[in-house]
Structure 1
């Protein structure tokens, strides 16, 4: 049976260095730390956590500036900053020492952390470890991580889609030549979409994490060094497989192996991790003003994302409108992402269009969060079928620019699809601020149940 995954927030530090860390947890037994690659989040390990949870309590944080974790309070963090941030997270969980697994840039962060804080790791399994020449690092620095900022008409989304798509075709992504073709190229919109959403979550922070990893020194300890075990693997078609030949002499406790498939890579990594010394299991530590609650009703079982204002009408449960998320509203009380919206679980199967199932979920959330009143959103203006078109990822990424155009037009017309003077509505300049539009566009794309919620609100009467 697959291990269930729960999600949590934990605030570290204080003052100017205070930052929120989001992490996933699954399984039982001793803790295993998993550190993701750039520009992903801990979410890339969900399938792995469900399997490895039979052996470990898997903990997968979003590294600073990725996923739902806040960035470091530094303009240009380097690899040491990301490594120290991982160790700070381990300490905040109350762990003295852990085994760990990291893929690509996650492996670079972990091995850097091992060198800086050797007492914190009983060993590391690394899925790929790039050993770049100075010329390669210089080329990456000039081309790999351009700024990623929202633009008024969604032009940045066109770039993002094609950059991620062609990352599966060429390595490095910006160097389109026959010689740089990827062995396992694909054009799967769903796979591209998963990474796109994580880039949209990270925003411009994604390039800082990349830049830190690409510039990191690859100073493998001398052969006579005594360190915790490190096992480096890479599969056929992974650009990092060729770098196994670049590793050179390593400490006796280090080893490397080329394998055939991604499944082979995770299998041999797990076998290695099971040989390492382990620490105790832990209960999750989490903030008291934001997180995820598990809700069970007759038609929905899943996790709801919630956040509570530090001051204000905390006894009021705020419900966002269709196609929105709690990030889209000014929270003065306690807010949730509804099922099929924001970071909450989707409805099982097709979302309902009658009001009762939605009301049941809202009531369950109200009771679980200990608030006494509920504030529902106003009825949306217009035909739900036209207000919330299909945003299923397509081969060319057009759904992203369509969502951006809708997010922008909603501030000019009601309904947005009637773009003429008869339906114009007043707006303020801050309504179309680029960061606000980026938040609204992201929420709209994620809102798989927006149309059904709008219909349910109308059916409520």
Structure 2
């Protein structure tokens, strides 16, 4: 099972929080994701390799749930950040794997800190020409900020979708067409959500990778072994021919499929010095607890203080607020925020939700539960279906809901009789963006609302 954790890197009197995933047993394997993704993209691969390694995948700075680096960082700072992460969790040396930009970060880390990595496997390594670099610098990384009426969401959907049709995404001509094109809403949605998490921080992290020097270590460099491979359809496969002379312990090969790439990478990694499984550190004021009831088995995200007496529950379609009041712990309920979803249809009666809350309260050692106010309105209308569709309409639909909810209650009754007093600041795009992402992540909102109604009914009935 994959578990999730937070750890803090303290440097120069500042603290930077990092989120990471972990699973498996055996020696540690550091896995660095591509931009603009997060460690979530490695979940399936982590499950595959967990029989051989303790797989550890952090969200790189500014992506997923990790804090960004300050200022205008370059590739060396992202490479050093990976080493700082290893320091924080207590790993002196380990094998490493990275795909695309994750590989570029790791190659830079190996050049700067060769004694911290035993061996390295990379999926595709970019060696851009001057012309390609000029093309990327012009259009590839526009700023990404929320806009008042959700226009940024239309751009985002199409940018992520068409990145599988053309590379780069804006070069819409036959020369730049890809053989791996698709229009799968679920696959596009996975990347869209990670871009929404990152916001404009994606520009710094992705930009540092794109502008990084593409110098392979010299043939006589004292660096750990490395295998670079790329499969058919990967736009970086042709870059295998651009690598030039490499250290004797480095090699590169073209393979047919993603599965072939994973197989040769694993075989290479298994040749490394296999040290003992580490004891990993994690943050003490945020994390995840494993919950198992008759109807739910998964991770529940919590934030707050371990000496808290009260457990705070959010409203339907919401998530943990920030900051959590001192002396309290808050959780994201199943199907909300960063917590796992129900394995089947979410329950619409309170007893099954109560079982999750009771177990969370026991594990977090709290004594009382604080409920948020139940939103007014009909659950069937408050929380319409927001499943990803082929055209990305669900994104703008959710944006219009949170915008309307700022000025009407319930949001679907936009008339004088349902107008509510509001501070104009709640309509700032930056404010709406958090609620928008909470709503998209609230897969069980309607059922939670219905369950709370049954709870209220039982209380009033007694």
TM-score (norm 1): 0.97
2:320 alignment partner, one of 314, 326, 344: 326
> Does structure 2 retain, via aligned residues, the 8 Å contact 1:226–1:253?
no
TM alignment of 1:284-303, pairs within 5 A: 284-303=280-299
| Structure 2 residue 220 is matched with structure 1 residue 224 | yes
Which moved further from structure 2: 233-242 or 402-411? 402-411
> Does structure 2 retain, via aligned residues, the 8 Å contact 1:230–1:254?
yes
- Residue number in structure 1 paired with 2:409: 414
Query: In structure 2, do the counterparts of structure 1 residues 246 and 14 end up closer, same or farther at CA, with 3 Å as the change threshold?
Result: closer
Shift of 1:17: 3.1
Shift of 1:432: 2.2
> Does structure 2 retain, via aligned residues, the 8 Å contact 1:171–1:182?
yes
TM alignment of 1:49-448, pairs within 5 A: 49-74=46-71, 76-308=72-304, 314-327=308-321, 331-332=325-326, 333-448=328-443
> Does structure 1 retain, via aligned residues, the 8 Å contact 2:90–2:280?
no
- Residue number in structure 1 paired with 2:5: 8
Shift of 1:329: 7.4
- Residue number in structure 1 paired with 2:23: 26
Shift of 1:48: 0.5
1:47-71: CA deviations, max 9, x gaps? 0000100000000000000000000
2:41 alignment partner, one of 39, 44, 59: 44
- For 1:79 and 1:200, the matched residues in 2 are separated by 22
Q: Secondary structure in 2 aligned to 1:317?
A: strand
1:83-106: CA deviations, max 9, x gaps? 000001111122111110000000
- For 1:210 and 1:174, the matched residues in 2 are separated by 16
> Does structure 2 retain, via aligned residues, the 8 Å contact 1:327–1:439?
no
1:299-356: CA deviations, max 9, x gaps? 211110000069xx93221101001111477545210000000110101100000011
- For 1:219 and 1:331, the matched residues in 2 are separated by 49
How many residue pairs are counted as aligned between the two chains?
A: 455
Query: In structure 2, do the counterparts of structure 1 residues 421 and 15 end up closer, same or farther at CA, with 3 Å as the change threshold?
Result: farther
- For 2:374 and 2:206, the matched residues in 1 are separated by 43
Q: For structure 2, which runs of at least 5 residues remain unmatched after alignment?
A: 457-462
1:118-168: CA deviations, max 9, x gaps? 111111100000001122112211111110001111111111100000001
Query: In structure 2, do the counterparts of structure 1 residues 329 and 82 end up closer, same or farther at CA, with 3 Å as the change threshold?
Result: closer
> Does structure 2 retain, via aligned residues, the 8 Å contact 1:328–1:440?
no
1:395-424: CA deviations, max 9, x gaps? 000000110111111111111000011100
